[in-house]
Amino acid sequence: MTGRFTVTYRVRSTAADIDARARAIAVEQSVEMPLAAIDDETVLSGIVGTVDGVTGLGDGLFDVRVGLATATVGRDAGQFLNMLFGNTSLHEDVVLHDVAVPDTLVDLFGGPRHGIAGLRHRLRLHGRALTASALKPQGLPSERLALLAERLARGGLDFIKDDHGLADQDYSRFADRLRACAAGVARGARATGHPTRYVPSLTGNLDQMRAQAALAREEGIDCVMLAPMICGFPAMQALVRSFPDMAFFAHPSLGGAARIAPALLIGGLFRLLGADAVIFPTHGGRFGYSQETCRRLAGNARRGDDGMKPALPVPAGGIALERVGEILDFYGADTMLLIGGSLLLARDRIVKETERFTRAVANHTPSQDRADGQ
Amino acid sequence: MTGRFTVTYRVRSTAADIDARARAIAVEQSVEMPLAAIDDETVLSGIVGTVDGVTGLGDGLFDVRVGLATATVGRDAGQFLNMLFGNTSLHEDVVLHDVAVPDTLVDLFGGPRHGIAGLRHRLRLHGRALTASALKPQGLPSERLALLAERLARGGLDFIKDDHGLADQDYSRFADRLRACAAGVARGARATGHPTRYVPSLTGNLDQMRAQAALAREEGIDCVMLAPMICGFPAMQALVRSFPDMAFFAHPSLGGAARIAPALLIGGLFRLLGADAVIFPTHGGRFGYSQETCRRLAGNARRGDDGMKPALPVPAGGIALERVGEILDFYGADTMLLIGGSLLLARDRIVKETERFTRAVANHTPSQDRADGQ
């Protein structure tokens, strides 16, 4: 745990102020006190943040690169987030833009345990994009959700996940829902012969999530979802370590509010913590992420040059069936398309509509303009 | 768990679009799917979010009030946050502005277990504002931090907390630091006769934080700090419940980045989860919170009309000693002043400088312009 890692903050500032702002951020994110009050040479040389560069981007925006001591992270993912953006998050004109994760932290957090290859292996599926949908609305009893799960599975989907609103509510307790939906998906999968996976959403505190993951494992489930910004980075770190056989899907809930660049938070940090698949709102849906943001996010998730496995990008958030071709052209085959509401609108025809989705993905012929630039 | 609670979102929109935006938020934060795809009457009438009102604020801003079903929260503070702002956080033009917490959730989460009265009781202190400082910089070995803790205690402070950057790093492991600093504060307190409290910062996952809190209890410590946005709401909920004898200080780390109104997040939600004291960056310091934001935040923390105990507001973030009078006039006596760097700058004269701080608070004569309007 020696050495430093470089964090890039995107700061709105005047040119006259930017050098002072940069130094202030370097101090705030390390010792958080006046340097004149520090008499310890080791702290001054080894712990205080360094300004490694300032780049003007025009229009009053600057990228400030700060070197932080790796030793300050300890072994905790929460402390890593604290070091990256704890107090500086309180400055409204600063975005946490990027971080160059050093090898020691790659080794510590480990990234995806399964990644794209592991997810494909489970589905015995190579060469085409993957498909997913979500069980909703919350408020339905478990048996209704299980029936929906079965019908979606009969449509040939690869993954069927809980809506992130499904938690452990009285109208559908986690354990009941898990058993019912796992059985529903299994019935559908037997009908098609395709090994569709059910992905339950883990919620609550670490004790509760751990018990839920153990229950899922007992039911033969090998994929789970969580929302890192809701459960906290430390809980995710612990779960990924405790359940190395599980593939983890990361949900972006609360993640958009964090003034952390989505490409970094969802594509980068969630993967670093072990997400095998990262769900995010794609451009052109209900949310405002740009094409460029989505391209960078998918690129970060699929990186394979940093000692960690690539994670599967999962564009979602209001994809209409008609957009499957365009979306696949943009993201390429190492992608999972998550379509929820657009399938559910078919109501009684949902198996057929789901088949239309899974066929559209299976029969897609790649075109140009790939997100990963391949 | 019946009924609804009202959430207020502050939305930037055109007047022509705002009604559709409001309906979209109500759907996104509840069933997250097209209503046309829902055939269950219970869900349609009891779970789908309702738009309870839209108020124009001028300048393209609107307050949208949405009624969410209390049943969707279950019993988990993380799910509460998920329901409040999960997916809508992904819309950059929406701020989570306020929430009217219903009695069922007040009963569930419980608010401060000790609150202002409990903290005052520990210090045998009534009628004046409370004082605090922080142990830093991180990077110092535990024995150096303990020496600093002793000197700050000799200056007569009420609370001495870990800097939020102190975690469980190799250069100062939690257990060593806890014992050393608790002993340092105890030596200082014996010298002054004042029952100064040491407030260690809990970090890591729930297992780790629980072990740290237990260790603190063994050392006779009755106040701890955590950062709810770093450890996660579910972990905080579990700890507050497991350690009813502890007073909890909430640190705002990462909280400013959340696009949740600070008065709600820090003054409201942290208190709801059980924070007895809430630390926040005051106006006029290193951070950009306005007087009005600080006034509302302190007001929310000190509420006593909702079945929960008042929590102590702790303005911090670059308060110079010269501002003590002004700050106390603004916040009144039910306040804890947290001054770190400004004391540490005194270096060898730190005991004297701390005494100057504690005397300034003790001798303060209240003036007008109170934050709570009293």
Residue type at position A323 = R
Residues 172-231 of chain A with CB under 8 A from chain B are 203-208, 227, 230-231
- Which chain A residues have a beta carbon less than 8 Å from that of B288? 90-93
Does residue B257 register a pLDDT over 70? Answer: no
Question: Would you call A169 and B73 a contact, using CB atoms and an 8 Å cutoff?
Answer: yes
Does residue B15 register a pLDDT over 90? Answer: yes
Residues 144-173 of chain A with CB under 8 A from chain B are 144, 163-165, 167-171
For residue range A242-270, list pLDDT tens digits in order: 999 999 888 877 876 556 667 877 787 77
Confidence of residue B186 (pLDDT cuts 50, 70, 90): very high
Does residue A372 register a pLDDT over 50? Answer: no
For residue range A189-241, list pLDDT tens digits in order: 999 999 999 999 999 999 999 999 999 999 999 999 988 889 998 999 999 99
Question: Would you call B165 and A140 a contact, using CB atoms and an 8 Å cutoff?
Answer: no
- Which chain A residues have a beta carbon less than 8 Å from that of B139? 31, 40, 42-43, 46-47, 69, 71-72
Say if CB A86 and CB B317 are below 8 A apart: no
Question: Would you call A82 and B344 a contact, using CB atoms and an 8 Å cutoff?
Answer: no
- Which chain B residues have a beta carbon less than 8 Å from that of A269? none
Across the range A349-372, mean pLDDT stands at 80
Q: What is the 3-state secondary structure (H, E, C) of chain A?
A: CCCEEEEEEEEECCCCCHHHHHHHHHHHCCCCCCHHHCCCHHHHHHCCCEEEEEEEEECCEEEEEEEEEHHHHCCCHHHHHHHHHCCHHHCCCEEEEEEECCHHHHHHHCCCCCHHHHHHHHHCCCCCCEEEEEECCECECHHHHHHHHHHHHHCCCCEEEECCCCCCECCECHHHHHHHHHHHHHHHHHHHCCCCEEECECCCCHHHHHHHHHHHHHCCCCEEEECHHHHCHHHHHHHHHHCCCCEEEECCCCHHHHCECHHHHHHHHHHHCCCCEEEEECCCCCCCCCHHHHHHHHHHHCCCCCCCCCCEEEEECCCCHHHHHHHHHHHCCCCEEECCHHHHCCHHHHHHHHHHHHHHHHCCCCCCCCCCCC
Assess A102–B contact: CB distance below 8 Å, yes or no: no
Question: Would you call A136 and B32 a contact, using CB atoms and an 8 Å cutoff?
Answer: yes
Q: What pLDDT is recorded for position B259? A: 62
Does residue A165 register a pLDDT over 90? Answer: no
Q: Between the CA of residue A34 and those of A48, A107, B238, B340, B342, what are the distances in Å?
A: 11, 33, 36, 10, 8
Percent over 70 (pLDDT), chain A: 96
Assess B16–A contact: CB distance below 8 Å, yes or no: no
Assess B138–A contact: CB distance below 8 Å, yes or no: yes
Does residue B49 register a pLDDT over 50? Answer: yes
Question: Would you call A205 and B74 a contact, using CB atoms and an 8 Å cutoff?
Answer: no
Q: What pLDDT is recorded for position A156? A: 87
Across the range A121-132, mean pLDDT stands at 85
Mean pLDDT comparison of A93-97, A236-240, B83-87, B128-132, highest-scoring range: A236-240
For residue range A301-314, list pLDDT tens digits in order: 998 888 888 888 98
Does residue B370 register a pLDDT over 60? Answer: no
Q: How far is A197 from chain B (nearest CA, A)?
A: 22
Q: How far is A124 from chain B (nearest CA, A)?
A: 31
Tell which of B206, B236, B243 to mutate to test the A interface (max A CBs under 10 Å): B206
Q: How far is A9 from chain B (nearest CA, A)?
A: 13
Percent over 90 (pLDDT), chain A: 47
- Which chain A residues have a beta carbon less than 8 Å from that of B79? 167-169, 203-204, 230
- Which chain B residues have a beta carbon less than 8 Å from that of A168? 74-76, 79
Q: What pLDDT is recorded for position A259? A: 62
Percent over 70 (pLDDT), chain B: 96
Q: How far is A127 from chain B (nearest CA, A)?
A: 30
Domains of chain B: 4-101 (3.30.70.150), 115-362 (3.20.20.110)
Assess A68–B contact: CB distance below 8 Å, yes or no: no
* Closest CA in chain A for residue B1: A170
Q: How far is A72 from chain B (nearest CA, A)?
A: 6
The ipTM value here is 0.82
Q: What pLDDT is recorded for position A72? A: 92
Assess A30–B contact: CB distance below 8 Å, yes or no: yes
CB atoms within 10 A of CB A52: 15
Distance CA B22, CA B24 (A): 5
Assess A36–B contact: CB distance below 8 Å, yes or no: yes
Across the range B190-198, mean pLDDT stands at 94
First to last CA, chain B: 36
Query: How many contacts (CB atoms, under 8 Å) link A and B?
Result: 322
Say if CB B311 and CB B277 are below 8 A apart: yes
* Closest CA in chain A for residue B348: A37
* Closest CA in chain A for residue B238: A205
Confidence of residue A373 (pLDDT cuts 50, 70, 90): very low
Confidence of residue B156 (pLDDT cuts 50, 70, 90): confident
Q: How far is B310 from chain A (nearest CA, A)?
A: 24
Q: What pLDDT is recorded for position B142? A: 95
Confidence of residue A71 (pLDDT cuts 50, 70, 90): very high
Q: How far is A192 from chain B (nearest CA, A)?
A: 25
Question: Would you call A137 and B47 a contact, using CB atoms and an 8 Å cutoff?
Answer: yes
Assess B353–A contact: CB distance below 8 Å, yes or no: no
